Amino acid sequence: MIRILIWILSQPLLWAVAGVIVGPYFFFNGFRWLQRQRLIADTPRSSIRSAALGMVELSGKAVGPYTLVAPLSQTDCLYYRVVIESNPRGDLHSNIKELSAPFFLDDGTGKVLIFPQGAELHMPPTSDRAEYGKLAATLAGYSAGTPEFAQEYAVRPGDNIFVMGMLRENPWCKKDPIKECTELSRIGPGFVSEAEADLIRREANPYLSFKLPAGATIDSEDVFDLHPAVIIMKDRNPLFISAGSQREVVAKLKFKSLLYIWGGAAAALWGLWQIIHYVQISDLLQGNS
């Protein structure tokens, strides 16, 4: 089997077909990254105090009134996303789990509330490993023993981040007495309450005594308005959160877009040339016979 596999992989025609199929995908994806790079480069940067409604670019520190526990790294965070890839039935399947406590950006001039669900994250993973059984049961719902590859991304208190998104009026600027009727009710668009964050922390550490506080509350003199007048969140416009600066993000997206565009075009043209060359040789051999 190994010899057969090596022989198949050594065939130029196989790589030619792959280039013709994959090349256009990378080519058109490159223009998508180029469009995103230009959007970030053209959006004016501002401070939170002077930001107007609309697309904004902000930089500062992530802060919040209390924290969650990230399920893989077991670290305190304001927001986490776990991406799980599994192959339970022979086809690759992805599952995403994300939770957020009230998550604010503080740039020194003020604070703004961010709802990060569905955002594009450009940051290194806090955990990156294969998981079995437990993660399947708790996060993805797969059968125990199913091998999975999991990546966790988390925004922790004090992290320096860059955010680009739509600053809009907050539809949840007033507490809903029906939807937020208990201590475990989600806040506004879906922020985890302090009581639910406490339960998540105790599930992660079952040895905590219920007579003692779990420690989810951040000891801070800052006052956080959980129902502010404005919020940044994903709607028809993208929400972009990065651990790098605006300049670093633009440089990376520019390099990535050029690599995809030129690499995809080169792969497609090379594959097409190889296929035409193979067909010409086949016709020549048939003509001689």
Query: pLDDT tens per residue, the chain (289 residues)?
Result: 676 666 656 677 777 788 888 888 888 888 887 888 887 787 878 889 988 898 899 999 999 999 988 888 888 899 999 888 765 554 555 678 899 999 999 998 999 999 999 898 988 888 876 654 455 445 545 544 555 677 889 999 999 999 999 999 999 988 888 888 888 899 999 999 998 988 888 777 665 555 545 556 775 667 899 999 999 998 888 899 998 877 788 888 888 888 888 988 888 888 888 888 777 766 666 666 5
Query: Are residues 138 and 131 in contact, defined by beta-carbon separation less than 8 angstroms?
Result: no
C-beta of residue 47 within 8 angstroms of C-beta of residue 109? yes
- Give the pLDDT score at 227: 93
* DSSP string of the chain, one letter each residue: -HHHHHHHHT-HHHHHHHHHHHHHHHHHHHHHHHHHHHHHHHSPB--TTTPPSEEEEEEEEEE-SB-EE-TTT--EESEEEEEEEE-TTSS-EEEEEEEE--EEEE-SS-EEEEE-TTPEEES--SEEEEE-THHIIIII-PPTT--EEEEEEEE-TT-EEEEEEEEEE-TTSS--TTTT-STTSPBTTTBPPHHHHHHHHHHH-TTS-TTS--S-B---S----SS-SEEEE-SSS--EEESS-HHHHHHHHHHHHHHHHHHHHHHHHHHHHHHHHHHHHHHHHHHH-
Query: CA-to-CA distance for 28 and 33, rounded, in angstroms?
Result: 9
Distance CA 134, CA 138 (A): 6
Predicted confidence at residue 15, as pLDDT, reads 75
Please give the pLDDT value at position 285.
61
Looking at residue 65, its pLDDT comes to 92
- Which residue in this structure is represented by tokens 């996060």? 139
| Pairing relationship of beta strands 230-233 and 160-169 according to DSSP bridges | antiparallel
C-alpha 191/C-alpha 102 separation (Å) is 6
How high is the pLDDT of residue 101? 93
pLDDT of res. 132: 46
Q: What angle do CA 219, 71, 150 make, to 5 degrees?
A: 140
Pick the closest to residue 76 from 201, 193, 184 (CA basis): 201
Q: Tell me the C-alpha distance between 85 and 122, whole Å.
A: 19
